[in-house]
Amino acid sequence: MTDKASRALTGTKEKTLLRVGEAAAVLSVSRWTIYRWVEEGRLRGTKIGKGSVRIFRDSITSLIEANQSDMAGAWQSAKHS
């Protein structure tokens, strides 16, 4: 996980569910990107009450880790080409 993302998640460590704005801040993307990623299945979210969306913290961690491993593989492939 990147240092920036790790620091951003530190303040939300006790929370299982993050608000869309909090998730967007952790990932340095817009709120609309978070909504789109939930619809695409890249992030797991749930509706609370009359439509408020919350994002599962562990899905953010999983997304970051998956992208790190994807980047590591791409970097290694580029180095050996």
pLDDT (tens digit per residue) in 13-68:
678 999 999 999 999 999 999 999 999 999 999 999 998 999 999 999 999 988 88
Residue-range domain boundaries for the chain: 3-79
Tokens of 2: 């990147």
Residue type, 62: S
Task: Classify domain 3-79 by CATH number.
Answer: 1.10.1660
What global pTM score does this model have? 0.70
Identify which of 71, 20, 52, 48 has the alpha carbon closest to the alpha carbon of residue 60.
20
**Strand 52-56 with 45-48, pairing:** antiparallel
- β-partners of residue 52 are 48
